[in-house]
Amino acid sequence: MAAPIAVAIDAPEIETAARWASAVAPHVSTVKVGLELYLRYGPEVISTVRGANPVSVFLDLKLHDIPATVAGAARNVARLKPSILTVHAAGGADMIKAAVQAAPDTRIAAVTVLTSLDDAALESIGMRGPAADAARRLAVLAVVSGAQALVCSPHEVPALRAEVGPDVQLITPGVRPAGADRGDQARVATPEEALAAGADLLVIGRPITRAADPGAAAASLAAALRRAEAAGRA
Ligand SMILES: O=C(O)c1cc(=O)[nH]c(=O)n1[C@@H]1O[C@H](COP(=O)(O)O)[C@@H](O)[C@H]1O
């Protein structure tokens, strides 16, 4: 079975994205298209990445605007049938409800606190921290408003799970294999830690796409997760 990994194919060019998608598709469940590609290529990038690959396509646009505008945007991209579409939970209850209503066949995932933010960065934007508390508040708001998935750091998974129950999908970026460069990510954990915490889908980008062989990197992370899962069951 494909590993519960969404590979973030944040590439400047559609040809690179297509190459990465084909390389990782045999090993992972999902490929994530974000702002970098979508703002340049629009819907074309979704069909290109989907191609002949047996993967779900996750559209990460992090919508954040007034409810009517988000509803229109969600309605438009729902036609592309992404498995998941992201919105910012901080857009508020009415905005999240508008996205859910506008895209009934797409799972709306609410981003709680970006994994690039630490407690000091949260304070600098006037948001009451620590990050774990802010993520919990936003998670509850989002789920009450109809979000079926949440994006958070692996550190917040146990608390969010306790808060929202087993049916809400918990998606975690901020995943770094031991020793990997954390880059601009602040709240990070290893893939094994994220899985053990109870994450349902791990978003991993540069540790795979910047590897010399992205297909081999995805295969090796998928195998590590399978081993961790088997050890957890034993
Ligand atoms: O919504 C996301 O996917 C997301 C939320 C978040 O809080 N942090 C975060 O890094 N992401 C996305 O997850 C991916 C992480 O990529 P890497 O840091 O390269 O593994 C990027 O595409 C980000 O846009």
Q: What is the second-level CATH architecture of the domain 3-233?
A: Alpha-Beta Barrel (3.20)
By alpha-carbon position, which residue is closest to atom 6 of ligand 1? 114
Distance CA 188, CA 177 (A): 10
Predicted-assembly ipTM surpassing the 0.90 threshold: yes
Would you name the residues annotated as active-site residues? 60, 62, 65
CB of 8 closer than 6 A to ligand 1?
yes
pLDDT tens digits, 95-112: 999 999 999 999 999 999
Cis geometry, peptide bond prior to residue 130 (ω within 30 degrees of 0): yes
Percent of the chain with pLDDT over 70: 100
Specify the pTM: 0.97
What pLDDT is stored for residue 54 in this prediction? Answer: 84
CB of 205 closer than 6 A to ligand 1?
yes
3 state SS of 29:
strand
